Amino acid sequence: MKKNSSILVLAVWLLVWLSPVYCLAEQGPMEQLRPTLSKLTSLLADPQLRGDEHKVKRRAQIMDSIRSGFDFEEMCQRILGQTWNKISPDERVLFTELMTKLLENVYIGKLENYSGQTIGYVNERVKGDRAQVSTLIEDDKLQIPVHYIMSLDNGKWMVYDINIEGVSLVRNYMQQFKSIIRKDDFEGLIKVLQEKNRSFEIES
């Protein structure tokens, strides 16, 4: 009897812990991306978070919501390419932190001008553990195509690249950083990122 009870407890435990992953796996990349973007637009539209006096709080909440659907480590790995394999674990952590901060300063800074634009979901394309979700940002009569490139990790689809009007975020930074690394090595790239983030802090 005791043995049967133990098996029952184990079965229930597995059901509780594995069912969320199973449910996520049943959802396609578009359905998993929707809540992240919905939360983002809600935060941007929240009147209680507007204004420079709420900038720190607003940015923190926005980044928390984005991290639930964006894989910044894979994004950074792809941006560095072969250099990622040559640097130490601590250097990878440092680069990811600096790069994530730069993306926050550059892209979240632009998003903070949000004024009610709508996001239309066009389609999704899935190939193995990779996918592309295509959306349209509609602003008055202007339509901007934005494609989210995603990978499947433990049953969850995560964004690792964004393609806006044919320009890949990863490829764009990859090309910029290659020339810096070629000239000043990885240490030179770190200095560039630190200086760039520092300049944003001074401006704000």
What 3-state class would DSSP assign to 198?
helix
Which residue type, as a one-letter code, is found at position 156?
K
pLDDT of residue 100 exceeding 70, the answer is: yes
State the pTM of this model: 0.80
Q: What is the largest CA-CA distance in the chain?
A: 71
* 59 vs 6, higher pLDDT: 59
Please state which of the ranges 37-51, 101-115, 140-154 shows the lowest mean pLDDT. Answer: 101-115
Please state which of the ranges 4-13, 55-64, 90-99 shows the lowest mean pLDDT. Answer: 4-13
- Rounded CA separation 69/32 (Å): 8
- Rounded CA separation 103/108 (Å): 7
151-165: pLDDT as tens digits: 998 889 999 999 988
The pLDDT score that the predictor gives to residue 24 is: 44
11-24: pLDDT as tens digits: 333 333 333 443 44
Here the tokens at position 74 are: 């894979």
pLDDT of residue 193 exceeding 60, the answer is: yes
The pLDDT score that the predictor gives to residue 134 is: 96
Mean pLDDT of the chain: 85
Span 60-83, mean pLDDT? Answer: 94
Complete domains list, the chain, with CATH: 27-203 (3.10.450.710)
- Rounded CA separation 50/102 (Å): 21
pLDDT > 90: percent of the chain: 57
**Burial (0-12, 13-18, 19+ Cβ within 10 Å), 110:** exposed
The pLDDT score that the predictor gives to residue 111 is: 78
Whether the Cβ atoms of residue 54 and residue 156 lie closer than 8 Å to each other? no
The pLDDT score that the predictor gives to residue 3 is: 46
